[in-house]
């Protein structure tokens, strides 16, 4: 009697099941990585948008020239502004507050701050430091000259 060797169906079924298990685990891993990357991208996009809005709202001001007339006790400060409105809230000379209030400057121009008349105790020929602070907390510093 001759015995024929036949392959069993169980080997084929086990191979198919093994392939299905590997594909399912691979799909779960891919989905997990893809969803994490997507959420990271959305988070970075939100942060970039917030930073862009903050930069657009930032006040742009530069002190062009500061001059103190000793005889008339007048401080004259020329400032340049950017594309956004700037509201000056304080002026300091050598770290001493000499003016505070709210003064809105026109955009995109070089203009003077309101005339400050105060005895600063500076001698002619003195170089001093002037600081201009805005309502949003931007502080610019530049040298000035007394004569």
- Tens digits of per-residue pLDDT, 99-134? 888 888 888 888 888 878 888 888 888 899 999 988
Strands (E), 48-95: 61-69, 74-81, 86-93
Closest CA to 120 of 79, 78, 80, 66: 66
Return the CATH number of 61-146, one of 2.60.40.1890, 3.40.50.2300, 3.40.50.300, 3.10.20.30: 2.60.40.1890
Q: In the 8-state DSSP scheme, what is residue 137?
A: S
Q: What is the pLDDT of residue 6?
A: 60
Is the model more confident about 28 or about 44?
28
- The H-or-E segment that residue 50 falls in is helix 9-57
pLDDT, residue 92, reads: 93
pLDDT of residue 1: 54
- Whether the per-residue pLDDT at 85 is higher than 70: the answer is yes
pLDDT band at 23 (very low <50, low <70, confident <90, very high): very high
Can you give the residue ranges of every domain in the chain?
Answer: 8-57, 61-146
What is the per-residue pLDDT across 47-70, written as a single tens digit (0 to 9) for each? 777 776 665 556 788 888 999 988
């Amino acid at each position: 009697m001759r015995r024929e060797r036949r392959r069993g169906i169980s080997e084929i079924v086990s191979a198919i099941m093994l392939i299905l298990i590997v594909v399912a685990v691979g799909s779960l891993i891919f989905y997990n990585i893809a969803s994490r990357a997507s959420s990271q991208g959305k988070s970075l996009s939100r942060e970039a948008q917030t930073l862009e809005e903050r930069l657009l709202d930032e006040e742009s001001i530069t002190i062009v020239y500061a001059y103190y007339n000793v005889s008339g006790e007048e401080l004259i400060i020329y400032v340049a502004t950017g594309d956004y409105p700037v509201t000056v809230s304080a002026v300091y000379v050598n770290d001493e507050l000499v003016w505070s209030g709210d003064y809105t400057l026109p955009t995109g121009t070089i203009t003077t701050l309101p005339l400050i008349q105060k005895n600063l105790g500076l001698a002619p020929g003195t170089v001093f430091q002037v600081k201009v602070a805005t309502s949003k907390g931007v502080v610019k510093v530049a040298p000035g000259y007394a004569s």
